Structure 1
Amino acid sequence: MTSRLSLALLEINNLAPSFMVADQCSKTADVRILGIESADGQGQCIKLVGNVAAVTAAAERGVELARRMGSFGLYSIMAAPLEVTLQLADPKPVISPLLGSSDNRKPRENAMAMTNALGLLETQGLVAALHATDDMLKASNVTLAGKEKIGAAYVTIMIRGDVAAVQTAIEVGKQTVERLGGKLILADVIARPHADLASLLP
């Protein structure tokens, strides 16, 4: 990495909202997602690199979206950070044996572009998440893309399919979580995920 790059750090509560924000940031300006790092709980740090104007525009738009979704969001811009700071912001992922997931979601090289819509359902509590997943897969022609845990009982379920099918499934999942009395964090659809976001997904 070169010191001419600027670094934007966005702190967003929960994983599903951070995926939505990262997608929006990538679509707003010419930035590259360095990764999304978990603080072993709600807080997720989205790291963007690009020129200072681009990362600022992307970060502002991302935090605005987070707040519209009812999530916490803040950002900081480092213009031309030191190389040691960039290395600190881009650590190797560590797998949590407790959660069975990585603390730092980094773009995979040669990741295939995602042509399907992405549905995100995040709950606090595993019972509602698993029951909702079963109902979503039965209700619509979608496939399970992954399950991620970030600690504090937060679970994010990801599904893929065409836009209408994913929208139907996510609505069913949302209704299931509410019927079971689970805590719904986010239930939303990204119709056309940006390639940078797709490279972070399972």
Structure 2
Amino acid sequence: MVANQLYPKKPRPDFGEAAIGMVSTRSFPAIIGTADMMLKAAGVTLVGYEKIGSGYCTAVVRGGISDIRIAVEMGEQAAKEFDQFVSSSIISRPSPNLEMVLPVGSRLAQYVSDRGQSRLTQMAVGLLETRGYPALVGAADAMLKSAEVYLAAYETIGDGLCTAVIRGRVSDVGMAIEAGMHEAERIGELHAVMVIPRPLDELEDTLPLASCWIETPQAIALPIDLKQREQVAVEKPAEEEKQDVQVLPEPEPQPVALPNLEKLVQPEPLDER
């Protein structure tokens, strides 16, 4: 059985004339939280993110126009609560050629199908963003030491903004984020934090993940076909068979000691009495 049969590739959705919704923030944790809210608010598909530098991130969703309007409204509200909202937009009937400026779909489908299975799936997500790399490393170290969490990856979006992504149980992630916030403020600048207790499957596919957490499926070793082995043995050249047979030397004849036949044939004397 090959690896592709163990974890089949997900087919890329055919959006056709589906509407497009976009919400932009200036923080990576904020865009993850915004995307999570949009997915849970309406029946939309998360196409992916666009990061254009200076901290600007945009979540792109597609679906029916009514669902898109609800998702964008809820996403904009969430981004404003995070105090990171930049802009939002809805395109009800996108032109087919508009796909040229929305390459996130094909990249995301290829990335998800090639990266295999994650060992951190179904765990809560914690994101902590700092301005400056030293503050990120210090916060990540404090989070790992304060609770049983795993550092899944880190993301940079420009303008000095770095985000550490941790996974674990909800209680551990909350405790770790709190410890990381204090350490980030001590070293440098804390920019944003986010905790998602139960990420949806679509959100899982878009989260950054280090290669050490990816489980590459291995092909199963099938038992050896005995009939095939017998066929190979029959087709083996005669010369090789002769080389495999060891001829033992014949033993030399040894003289055999025969008994005295005269003593055996001579009758016993009769008793005269």
Task: Give the TM-score, by structure 1 length.
Answer: 0.88
2:140 maps to 133
1:87 maps to 100
2:216 maps to none
- Identify the match of residue 203 of structure 2 among 187, 197, 202: 197
Tell me the amino acid that sits aligned with residue 56 of structure 1. R
Preserved contact between residue 5 and residue 49 of structure 1 (Cα < 8 Å) = yes
Preserved contact between residue 30 and residue 194 of structure 2 (Cα < 8 Å) = no
Instruction: Write the distance in 2 (CA, Å) between the matches of 1:66 and 1:85.
Output: 26
- Identify the match of residue 173 of structure 2 among 155, 166, 171: 166
Instruction: Write the distance in 2 (CA, Å) between the matches of 1:156 and 1:168.
Output: 17
Instruction: Write the distance in 2 (CA, Å) between the matches of 1:131 and 1:38.
Output: 25
Runs of at least 5 residues in structure 2 that lack an aligned partner in the other structure:
1-13, 210-273
Q: Tell me the percent identity.
A: 29
1:115 maps to 122
Instruction: Write the distance in 2 (CA, Å) between the matches of 1:198 and 1:159.
Output: 13
Tell me the amino acid that sits aligned with residue 192 of structure 1. R
Instruction: Write the distance in 2 (CA, Å) between the matches of 1:197 and 1:162.
Output: 17
1:61 maps to 74
1:119-146: CA deviation from partner (whole Å, max 9, x where unpaired)? 0000111111100101110110000010
State the 1:44 CA deviation.
Answer: 0.7
Are 2:59 and 1:46 equivalent residues in the alignment? yes
- In structure 2, relative to structure 1, the CA distance for the partners of 1:20 and 1:74 (3 Å cut) is same
Runs of at least 5 residues in structure 1 that lack an aligned partner in the other structure:
94-103
**SS of the residue aligned with 1:193?**
coil
- In structure 2, relative to structure 1, the CA distance for the partners of 1:64 and 1:86 (3 Å cut) is same
State the 1:106 CA deviation.
Answer: 8.1
- Asked which structure has the greater RCO (Cα within 8 Å, sep 6+), the reply is 1
Q: Which runs of at least 4 in structure 1 moved beyond 2 Å after TM superposition? A: 1-4, 90-93, 104-107, 109-114
More strand by share: 1
More helix by share: 2
Aligned length: 191
- In structure 2, relative to structure 1, the CA distance for the partners of 1:107 and 1:189 (3 Å cut) is farther
Instruction: Write the distance in 1 (CA, Å) between the matches of 2:123 and 2:142.
Output: 20
State the 1:111 CA deviation.
Answer: 6.1
State the 1:56 CA deviation.
Answer: 1.0
1:99 maps to none
**SS of the residue aligned with 1:123?**
strand
Are 2:159 and 1:152 equivalent residues in the alignment? yes
State the 1:55 CA deviation.
Answer: 1.0
- In structure 2, relative to structure 1, the CA distance for the partners of 1:176 and 1:159 (3 Å cut) is same
Preserved contact between residue 15 and residue 62 of structure 2 (Cα < 8 Å) = no
Instruction: Write the distance in 1 (CA, Å) between the matches of 2:203 and 2:197.
Output: 12
- Identify the match of residue 193 of structure 2 among 180, 187, 195: 187
**SS of the residue aligned with 2:206?**
coil
Preserved contact between residue 117 and residue 192 of structure 1 (Cα < 8 Å) = yes
Instruction: Write the distance in 1 (CA, Å) between the matches of 2:19 and 2:75.
Output: 16
Task: Give the TM-score, by structure 2 length.
Answer: 0.66
Preserved contact between residue 15 and residue 63 of structure 2 (Cα < 8 Å) = no
1:78 maps to 91
- In structure 2, relative to structure 1, the CA distance for the partners of 1:111 and 1:79 (3 Å cut) is farther
Instruction: Write the distance in 1 (CA, Å) between the matches of 2:47 and 2:70.
Output: 16
Preserved contact between residue 9 and residue 77 of structure 1 (Cα < 8 Å) = yes
